[in-house]
Structure 1
């Protein structure tokens, strides 16, 4: 098996973990507050992240000189998780997933004012087309419109800010430090808010809370590992396989059957994301030093 094929398979495994984790969170969201779901998810994930960091680079991998940056990223990630889990409880799984795909589009538009990066015409136009796809899924003003869609868009914006801060500080901070503190802050915030929403888990719900954290950590690990075996431009597009899992899991577990406009909108969003990824790959290839 080639290295690239292995990377793609690992990427698909990571995306499957994400989709399963989302399904578990949606299931738990029918009974528990999103704050409690975030608390258990981060409570389970954080020790696993620490162990992986210890294995990959020792405890030094968690050292940082920018605690303020990590606090900011952690608060943004808290908002991401809260909005997304809330959205899962209000919308079908496939629709939530489709709207969340807008995050890279927000990265393209926000990288200009926040990173002082010049946004080329192709990714800018692709982003606008992608937002048209979001409108197709959300359909503001239509009878099927739900305000939960705006909450998921909020999650996409927050996640885009996470990616932007990762781009800005990723070369200055260790990878596992960024992952660790981005998980620690939501754990602390949710722990502080937990007494006001606590509900004692029953039966299989305990397994669900633990499974959600394990799946979340599995997703991060697999996706990170995938980029060690396959080029980013080759592996990243397979993130969109999440839509397949979302449709299947939503249908199997809740009898959710997305209408044609969700598929059309998702297709437009995915095509826009792929166009941006392809453009970035071409730019990177042109910027690569020549061997001659």
Structure 2
């Protein structure tokens, strides 16, 4: 597991009574409405962070928006709260507020929260904050994915974060798709969809084509699945047909499902032919499902 940064400070967190929180929130709302610059000194920031633990959601939103306006000066206090506060509401709100600021100095602490906090909302919000940072977060997300000590929840969130980074870090994802590590290639290929479909990234498209013939079955499987999501039957179908006879049952299964998602009935003869020669009985229902679904498109 990735080494976590130490706590930023050992000081006791500031607390606010309900009345104090309400009064502070009202003052902050007035300043925000009037376009005033919010105080960014340590004491002011700590009081706003304390407000993130308030039971009233609208007040928490005011404190989060205010801290977002303060920006990078609030990052150390928010990281401290996210990683070390006893109140899970504060940890959740701090992680979500870091998403508003999008500052790479928070990355090691976001990683710590993902790997060490037991709360799934904190974990998910930490990954969301990493994802909006963009290219600087890619290596950390990939390291989570390839570390066998991490849980399926953690690796799944990291994969989602990598996909969300998408076009924000095109070169980082293209480089990852060429990695010698098959797990990294798999994760990177899965994240290339937006670049291919919405950004017209020709290099990403070529990487996907290569991944269909990758020596690792997980990479081939992920590439096959992605082909079915690109809504381009004329391009994808001829490339998917050979994978119906891949040596890997997983790739064959994903090829059938990908062809089904393309909604092109002209794939039915190939599916029927491959189903008749399929040796893995568990795949027959998958082929039949794809054939039946495409038959309805006629």
When normalised by structure 2's length, the TM-score is: 0.21
Q: Which structure is higher in RCO with an 8 Å CA cutoff and minimum separation 6? A: 1
Larger Rg: 2
